[in-house]
Structure 1
Amino acid sequence: MKIRPGFLLELVVNFLLPWLAYRLARPHVGETGALIASAVPPLVWSAIELVRFRRVDALSAMVIVGIVLSIGAMALGGSPRMLLLRESLVSGAVGVAFLLSLPMRRPLIFYLARATVAREMEGGAAHFEALWRERPGLASAMRMMTLVWGVGLTAETALRAWMALTWPIERFLVVSPFIGYGIYAGLGLWTLWYRKTMRRSVEASAQASGIVS
């Protein structure tokens, strides 16, 4: 896949700008105020998307939910272990959301994929909707990806929560990043492998159909 300008802009707005807003605001308004400031870029982006395309940006919504969860976790207390737990809330919430969306007509990854395609090509959302209706394999693949990412993110949160509550803080700080990045890397590699497998399957089916016809 080529990295398109729209995708890069989406990453900047939803990840780089919130981080910059947080870092710039924290010395002046404290951590809570800085978290609120970090929500401004994705909120503005979502408002622009709503005005232009009459839809809410899915990735921005997830980022905003994560920020809100972080602010809510601060209200639970400022103990060291609670602060360690707070780091896992976002990925855990996303994982649970993935799993809860499985019984729905369209799982959560469908909306993330459609939003990405819509930015990459003119009429991308309608094209993706058509593919969803015409290719049952796409729906099955999206549900499988939703399941795997939901289980992976939820398991990562549960493991890190157990570590934060039972391990010495120093050990957690050393080991936890390797656990988190390792799980994300594993999920990413699995996704690449699964996409290639599905693509080969679709190509093989297309060739078989051509031979039959």
Structure 2
Amino acid sequence: MMLLDTAAPIGLYYLLHSLGVGVFLALLISAVVPGLSTLAQIVRHRRLDGLGAFMVGMTVASAGAALISGSPRFLLAKDGWMTGIAGLWLLVSTRRTRPVVFYFARALLEGRVGPAGDSWDYLWDRLPGFRRVWRVASVIWGVATIADAALRFVMAYTMPVNAVPGLNGAQYAVLFVALQVITNIYYHRTGLYNPRSALYAPIRSG
């Protein structure tokens, strides 16, 4: 769904523009796609989570503000607002009990990380080093996405309008791959993937 929400608006924009639809209207229509797909998921699962509410809210707010301003560049800057707010959310979450990155990684790695496939609730409660891993990872992702947002604002207001949607999409791919590489290097250095590492020493001895 994330891939669809990124690729579909870009493809739709260039399709509409090639058919003669004006830049502003093509951007406005394509900007609504992520919100519609999120609404479809909400209806299907009958559940509204924080991320879904954020996506719908940003889509409605940016489309409404763009209609008032009439600026295509404001619509182009929408991705910058979204990644910037997401970056702040990641940073703020490090002050909560469990940061955002912990929950994202848990869905993929729980049962495969730790000396005996222990639950992450157990690892979180027993290992200060384990808690630090996810707080540092959230800081890495937060700082990177805020820097990404700044670059998107620069592109939105300085580059040719027709070039920005494609570059925005490519930038998502670059950001995701770069962060995967950086955080996985960090995880390896902390011993997260090694059940015999010092990270897990307190529960091995206990």
TM-score category by the smaller chain? Answer: 0.5 to 0.7
What is residue 55 of structure 2 aligned with on the other side?
66
Structure 2 Cα separation of the partners of residues 119 and 208 of structure 1 = 18
Q: Is the 8 A contact 2:84 2:146 kept in 1?
A: yes
- 2:32·2:63 contact (CA, 8 Å) conserved in 1? no
Note if contact 2:34-2:55 (Cα within 8 Å) is conserved in structure 1: no
Q: 1:75 aligns with which of 64, 75, 79?
A: 64
Structure 2: give runs of 5+ residues left out of the alignment. Answer: 17-27, 113-117
Supply the RMSD in Å over aligned alpha carbons: 4.1
Counterpart of 2:21 in structure 1 is: none
Residue of structure 1 equivalent to 2:156? 164
Q: Does 1:98 align with 2:90?
A: yes
Task: Give the whole-Å Cα distance in 2 for the aligned partners of 1:206 and 1:82.
Answer: 46
CA distance in 1, matches of 2:53, 2:127: 32
Give the structure, 1 or 2, with the largest relative contact order (CA under 8 Å, sep 6 or more): 2
2:133 aligned to 141, 148, 151, which one? 141
1:203 paired residue number: 196
Q: 61-70 or 152-161: which moved more?
A: 61-70
SS in 2 for 1:203: coil
Q: Distance in 1 between matches of 2:201 and 2:94?
A: 31
- Alignment of structure 1 residues 168-207 onto 2, 5 Å: 168-170=160-162, 172-173=164-165, 175-197=167-189, 198-199=191-192, 203-205=196-198
1:130 equivalent to 2:119? Answer no
Q: CA deviation at 1:200?
A: 5.9
- How many residue pairs end up in the alignment? 180
SS at match of 1:39: helix
Say whether the 8 Å CA contact 2:84–2:145 is kept in structure 1.
yes
* Partner Cα distance (1:95, 1:207) in 2: 29
Return the offset for 1:87.
2.6
Equivalent AA in structure 2 for residue 161 of structure 1? F
Distance in 2 between the 1:174 and 1:143 partners? 33
Structure 1 residue matching 2:151: 3-state secondary structure: helix
Instruction: Give the distance between the partners of 1:19 and 1:174, measured in 2 at CA.
Output: 10
Q: Is the 2:83–2:146 contact (alpha carbons within 8 Å) kept by the matching residues of 1? A: yes
More helix by share: 1
Per-residue deviation, residues 180-209 of structure 1 (Å, max 9, x unmatched): 432322111112222222336652328988
TM-score normalised by L of structure 1: 0.64
Change (3 A) 1:19 1:63: farther
Q: Structure 1, residues 108-161: CA drift from partner, whole Å, max 9, x if none?
A: 2223334556799xxxxx922111101211111000110000000111011110
Runs of 4+ in 1 over 6 A off after TM superposition: 16-23, 206-209
> Can you list the C-alpha shifts for 1:36-74, whole angstroms capped at 9, x where unaligned?
5322343246546xxxxxxx7xxx532441232022101
